[in-house]
Structures are given as structure tokens and as C-alpha cells.
Amino acid sequence: MRCNYCQSEFEDSAKFCPVCGAPVGPSEDNKPDYFSQANEFPPQSEFVPSVPMINPLHAKTDMLVKDNLFLATCILHTVATALPLFGEFKGINVILIIIAVFLWIIYAESKKGLPNPARIRIISGCIYATKVVLYVLGGLLALMGIISFFSTKPWIKLFTDAFDAGTLPSNDFERFFSIGGWIIGITFIFAALLIIILTYFSYGKIHKFVKSCYENIQSGVDALENRNTTSVWLIVFAVFIGITALGSITSDPVSSIAFGCQAATCVISHLLIKKYYYEYN
């Protein structure tokens, strides 16, 4: 059936036009008179609800988390997080555990409907926490470098107390640090600057990418930040983590497998971003 007033099409059983609210009828008399106070509009409850528009970014994210590659990412990340518990250097990363948990929650929710942007926000927070930890590490290295550069005495005391005098005599420590303390200081400061700069351009950009994802889904904006930069850094991480995995095959096979899973996770994440977010800059 077609509305006599706005010419919109609707079901035959409708009593009112879902677009303009005019009562359904066969004649021109059923057109609503918007200039007449006597015109009666249908109650709000009788309007046919329109289908809500889905943000294109939300729709793409929904397809991404329902992809089998995303399931592979969940599995590989979980394995990479759990394996260090069985390696030579046993340890656990709380941030990686939280990311693993919410990856599985997002995947489970995607089977029931659109993913909840709040879950993506948790992952964004974990990436931000990693960035903060690396900034703190860089600051501590810079502080150690400054102390070592301007005064070797504290370092002499630290190393002479930490090692057995029979293994390496104390006077060798004093001779080494009195000559090369400034070299160690410069090395620490350089390492600190390197960590801070790399963190800003890697984790900083990745955090902005994930943050823009959940914020723009909630606000309805069809845009993403740092998509290309994030894709590039994921490949860079995959290469360096892969090299680390190869280097530890013989000394610690379990950790080597964990690093390999992390590298594979980075590669798959890169492929998912390229596949579903290719149109964003």
C-alpha cells in the first residue's frame, strides 16, 4: 500500500503511515492537515517503529570478530599467554591475560549479535597500560643512566655487594666503573630514549586506533585513526618477536613457541585490519 500524502510504501495492515503519520485511506481526504488544530495524529504507540541504522564501522567490526581469523587470534593469544608458565623462566603477564579474556568475551558475544564496544574499550585500556609501563621503564633507565654518568660510587657499591668477591674481585669492579661509568650512563640514557620514542610511535598509535574504534562505534562516526600505522607496527612486532622465537628454540623451546604464537597473532591482526578496515586512512 502507498500513502496518499507522502507516497511512502508500507504493509497493507498498517493503520497509519510510518513516515508521515497520516491515517491510511483510499482518498485524498486522509491527508493530514498540518495547519489545522483539529487534525488528530495517531498515538505514539501506533507508529510503526523504523529499523535502526547500523554504523558502518560497527557492521565491519561485527564481520571482523565473526571471522575465523579472529577465532585463530583468540586461540594463539591465549596459548602465547599461558605457555610462559611452563617455560624455563616462569612468569605471567596480567595485561595479556585480561586481553585474552576479553577477546573470548567479544567472540562469544559476536555469536549472539553485534559486539559490545565496551569490551573493545577494555582492550584499549590494556594497550594504554602497556604504554605506561614502558614509559616508566624508560624513565627508570634514564634515571639509572644519569646516576651512573655523574657518579660511579653507587654503582660500585651495588655491584660489589651483588656479586661474590671470589668470582670477580671488588677492585676489578672499581677499576671498570671508574673508567667506564660515563659510558654506561650514556648507554642507559640512549636505551631510555629509544624505549620512550618507540613506545610513543608504536603502542601510542595502536592505542589511538583501538580507542577510535570503540568511540566511533558508540558515537556513530564512520572513521578510524592510525589504521595504516597500526598495520605497519603489527608487522614490525611480528618480525622482531619471530626473531626472538628463533633465537630461543634450543635454549627454551616452550618460550620459543609462545613467541611464535605472539608473532602469528600480530600477522593475523594485520590481515584482519587490512581486510575489514582497508578503506580507512
In a domain, 240, yes or no: yes
Which residues face 9 on adjacent strands? 2
Same domain assignment for residues 238 and 211: yes
The number of angstroms, rounded, from the C-alpha of 9 to the middle of its chain's C-alpha atoms is: 44
In the chain, the amino acid numbered 266 is: C
- Name the DSSP letter for residue 115: P
79, with CB counted inside 10 A (0-12, 13-18, 19+), is middle
**Cell numbers that stand for 88 in this block:** 624455563
Distance, in Å, from the CA atom of 46 to the CA atom of 110, rounded to the nearest integer, reads: 33
Same domain assignment for residues 38 and 14: yes
Which residues face 136 on adjacent strands? none
In the chain, the amino acid numbered 178 is: S
CA atoms 272, 277, 279, 281: torsion sign: negative
Same domain assignment for residues 232 and 247: yes
**Domain span at 72:** 56-276
Phi, psi angles (nearest 5°) of residue 16: -135, 155
- HEC assignment per residue over 19-58: CCCCECCCCHHHCCCCCCCCCCCCCHHHCCCCCCCCCHHH
What pLDDT is attached to residue 35?
Answer: 47
Same domain assignment for residues 72 and 161: yes
Determine how many CB atoms are found less than 10 A away from the CB of residue 271: 16
Per the CB < 8 A criterion, the answer to whether 256 and 245 are in contact is yes
In a domain, 281, yes or no: no
Per the CB < 8 A criterion, the answer to whether 225 and 208 are in contact is yes
Phi, psi angles (nearest 5°) of residue 2: -120, 140
- Name the DSSP letter for residue 2: B
Same domain assignment for residues 115 and 209: yes
The number of folded domains in the chain is: 2
Same domain assignment for residues 42 and 150: no
> Would you write out the chain's pLDDT as a tens digit for each of its 281 residues?
677 655 667 777 777 666 556 677 654 444 455 444 444 544 544 444 444 556 788 888 888 998 999 999 999 999 999 988 876 766 778 899 999 999 999 999 888 876 677 788 899 999 999 999 999 999 999 988 887 766 655 555 555 555 555 555 455 555 555 555 667 778 889 999 999 999 999 999 999 999 999 888 888 888 899 999 999 999 999 999 999 999 888 888 888 999 999 999 999 999 999 999 987 76
Distance, in Å, from the CA atom of 116 to the CA atom of 122, rounded to the nearest integer, reads: 11
Does pTM surpass 0.75? no
- As a whole number of Å, the CA-based R_g of the chain is 30
Same domain assignment for residues 40 and 118: no
Same domain assignment for residues 26 and 62: no
In a domain, 112, yes or no: yes
Same domain assignment for residues 226 and 161: yes
- Name the DSSP letter for residue 202: T
**Cell numbers that stand for 190 in this block:** 640512549
